[in-house]
């Protein structure tokens, strides 16, 4: 409970310092995180990549589900939040990278993600950054891979449909505000 409150404070502080970059005043709820991760087979993934890890609400749940020999690469642009993630999760499967998602390719060592989780604030990105990051997503997915995107509006749906032949959406009410979850596949099957 204390950790949750401290994390909320850290998150709010990051938001106040850089509202457009953080894009939310609260971390995603654990119910929304679980609902999102239930839509992909994290247990069978060899490589999971997370974009915009924040205080680690997805990170911890991904590690709970991840197989012993698999890897998780978590990108977070805020140095304080990236440091928190490194200190909190002492797990050899995890690599925390403090860098922008637009440089994702440089951190995957030529590998592609079986599950790619994005909780980036696309609606507050400028158009150029949004396009650069979105253009990377299909390329970063392994064959048969799944992209999960959590957002607070459906604004991004058209952009995802332009890049993925299969996009499904759902809404989870168990978050403040209710969250849109998009499940995207590069192969339409």
Ligand X SMILES: C[S@@+](CC[C@H](N)C(=O)[O-])C[C@H]1O[C@@H](n2cnc3c(N)ncnc32)[C@H](O)[C@@H]1O
Nearer to ligand X among residue 23 and residue 145 (C-beta): 23
Q: Which residue has the tokens 């642009």?
A: 77
Closer to ligand X at the Cβ: 47 or 75? 75
- Take residue 173 and report the two structure tokens written for it: 């009410």
Asked if 47 and 142 count as a contact pair (C-beta separation under 8 A), the reply is: yes
Site for ligand X in 31-70 (CB under 6 A): 51-54, 57-58
Least CB distance to ligand X at residue 78 (A): 4
- Shortest CB 137 distance to ligand X, Å: 13
Residue of 13, 62, 68 lying closest to 42 (CA atoms):
62
Residues 97-116 interacting with ligand X (rule: CB under 6 A): 100-101
Interaction of residue 94 with ligand X, rule CB under 6 A: no
Q: How far apart are CA 105 and CA 144, in angstroms?
A: 19
Q: How far is the CB of 53 from ligand X (least distance, A)?
A: 5
126 to 3, 130, 132, 136: CA distances (angstroms): 33, 6, 10, 16
137 binds ligand X (CB under 6 A): no
Q: In what order do the strands lie in the sheet with 71-75?
A: 94-97, 71-75, 47-51, 113-118, 141-151, 179-185, 166-172
Q: Which stretch binds ligand X (CB under 6 A): 19-27, 105-113, 164-172, 181-189?
A: 19-27
**Where does this chain bind ligand X (CB under 6 A)?**
21-24, 27-28, 51-54, 57-58, 75-78, 81, 100-101, 119-121
């Amino acid at each position: 409970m204390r950790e949750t409150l401290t994390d909320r404070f850290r998150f709010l502080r990051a938001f106040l310092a850089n509202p457009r970059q953080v894009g939310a005043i609260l971390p995603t709820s654990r119910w929304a995180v679980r609902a999102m991760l239930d839509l992909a087979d994290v247990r069978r993934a060899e490589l999971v990549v997370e974009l915009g890890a924040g205080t680690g609400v997805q990170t911890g749940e991904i590690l709970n589900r991840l197989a012993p020999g698999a890897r998780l690469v978590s990108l977070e642009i805020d140095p304080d939040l990236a440091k928190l993630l490194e200190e909190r999760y002492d797990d050899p499967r995890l690599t925390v990278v403090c860098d922008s998602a637009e440089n994702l390719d440089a951190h995957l060592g030529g590998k592609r993600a079986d599950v790619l989780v994005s909780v980036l604030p696309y609606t507050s990105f400028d158009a150029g950054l949004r396009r650069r990051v979105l253009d990377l997503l299909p390329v970063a997915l392994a064959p048969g891979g799944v992209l999960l995107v959590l957002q607070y509006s459906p604004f991004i749906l058209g952009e995802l449909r332009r890049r993925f032949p299969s996009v499904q959406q759902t809404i989870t009410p168990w978050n403040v505000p209710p969250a849109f979850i998009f499940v995207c596949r590069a192969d339409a099957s």
